Chains A and B, each alone.
Chain A
Amino acid sequence: MSVVVKLSNVHKSFGPLKVLDGVSFEVARGEVVAVIGQSGSGKSTALRCINALETIQQGSIEVCGHAVHDEKLDKRKLRLDVGIVFQSYNLFPHLTAEQNIMLAPTCVKALGKKAARDIARDCLARVGLSEKADHYPEQLSGGQQQRVAIARSLAMQPKVMLFDEVTSALDPQLTGEVLKVMEDLARGGMTMILVTHEMAFARKVASQVVYMNKGKVWETGPGSMLDAPTTPELRDFVGSGL
């Protein structure tokens, strides 16, 4: 299996604060990796480094053949291959759901209006929101907004998708509908890295679980690792009922 994302000994500090302290892991094509860990353990930072939203001080990150750690990285080329979905949705409030999705295909890929609209319709259908195409973000529930955000990212046909606690702002019912979309994506063969607090989801969908603690990959393994943690830290973390 080919490796799509590879972090090797990644170090990242914000000023004096060491956030990533030698993080390494690999993600193969079609794999779903769940990153878990306490608040502040560096999960979001790791995702942001993969997408070059943060620069790293040491180590290397390879994503779909792009050397992300390299100063000469073409960030736009990287982002054509990597999609990211944030906890706070970050939809464009002045555009409808459909326009949100069409924007990047039209201006980045220079697709015509019609082709872009077809893609938008298709992506909205995949997240089960065909009937909301003309709604503005503020007219949608949190779960619906998050699904539009996923559709917006999907429309660029990324090779890897990153999800940063995409359900943390949602109540349980809305969480379910977003998780279902992600499960469908995983089943469709999308390579995904997701930071999540949904242990049941991680156990069920992830092919690999990465437990981060104090800026390090503390423990890693298949979903079943959560049932039999080897480190006391992971045992505490799982036991805390998260």
Chain B
Amino acid sequence: MPSFGLVHLEFLAIAAFWTIGLSAVAFIGGGMLGFVIALMRVSPSRLVRGIAITYVQVVQGTPLLILLFLIYFGLAIIGFDQLPAIIAAGIGLTIYSSGFLGEIWRGCIESVPKTQWEAAECLAMTRWQRMTRVILPQALRIATAPTVGFLVQIVKNTSLASVVGFVELAQAGKLINNSIFQPFMVFVTVAVFYFIICFPLSAWSRGLERRLNVGRR
């Protein structure tokens, strides 16, 4: 039986890139959808708010694993049965991220004092102008640290994408282990890869938090 070597390391490195790629898709897709959800959550229309609340509760109440299964097999049922794994995993993680990012950002928007809305309103600004020129710039500052923090969660959760046949870091580790059976060696290496991806993110998040707490602006 061959032992853990350079080929395996290379295989893991490539899988790590897929992990990063999938994380990026989830973050960008989830970010865009989550932004819409956050805006819907603070809408003056009860109907719009209700739709967003329902969406968030369904997404947050569904385990990511189940969400991935549902999308993979659900899309197959309606005819997309040759769906590439990255698309299914990307859609699943996008929906998952949007549910959480939407709530994180809603909290940030609502933590801007109501008096800021009023001050802008009294200057005859439209609702859209108030949102984009006064509220969002302040919410953005509050949102940066928790958003980067959530990015770490996304990276780790991509490991579930293996259930739809996507070979990312964790799945690559499993495959290697199946052929050489050195679980400790293999999975420590996998963990190190995750750490290398996540550590800079969480360090960045902590740094942002510190900077925003001390210096404001």
Contacts and interface: CB of A to CB of B under 8 A. Distances in A.
A104 B124 contact: yes
Contact of A94 (B124, B125, B126, B138): B138
B116 A92 contact: yes
Interface stretch (B64-72, B94-102, B129-137): B129-137
Contact of A76 (B116, B124, B141): B124
A80 interface: yes
A108 B217 contact: no
B119 interface: yes
A90 B115 contact: yes
Contacts of A51: 122
A51 B133 CA distance: 22
B53 to A, nearest CB: 25
A152 interface: yes
A84 B121 CA distance: 10
Interface string B123-152: 111100100011001100100000000000
A237 interface: no
Nearest to A104: B123
Interface in A55-101: 75-77, 79-80, 82-84, 86, 88, 90-94
Contacts of B122: 51, 53, 79, 82-84, 153
B123 A86 contact: no
Contact of B217 (A77, A93, A103): A93
B101 to A, nearest CB: 22
Nearest to B141: A94
B123 A94 contact: no
Interface string B32-55: 000000000000000000000000
Nearest to A76: B124
Given A94-B138, A94-B217, A138-B217, A108 B115 contact: no
B119 A76 contact: no
A93 B216 contact: yes
A107 interface: yes
A216 B133 CA distance: 39
A86 B124 contact: no
A206 B196 CA distance: 69
Interface residues of A, number: 26
A75 B130 CA distance: 14
B137 A94 contact: yes
Contact of A79 (B115, B121, B134): B121
B110 interface: no
Contacts of B120: 92
A212 interface: no
Given A93-B217, A94-B137, A94-B141, A79 B123 contact: yes
B180 to A, nearest CB: 55
B81 interface: no
A136 interface: yes
Contacts of B137: 94
A80 B216 CA distance: 32
Given A94-B217, A136-B217, A53 B115 contact: no
A108 B116 contact: no
Contact of A107 (B118, B119, B129): B129
A156 interface: yes
A86 B119 CA distance: 8
Please list the 10 inter-chain residue pairs (A to B) with the smallest Cβ-Cβ separation, ordered nearest first.
A90-B119, A104-B123, A79-B124, A90-B115, A94-B137, A76-B124, A108-B124, A84-B122, A107-B129, A80-B124
Interface of A: 51, 53, 75-77, 79-80, 82-84, 86, 88, 90-94, 103-104, 107-108, 136, 138, 152-153, 156
Interface of B: 115-116, 118-126, 129, 133-134, 137-138, 141, 216-217
Given A79-B124, A92-B119, 9 more contacts: A53-B121, A86-B118, A86-B119, A88-B115, A94-B137, A94-B138, A103-B123, A152-B123, A153-B123
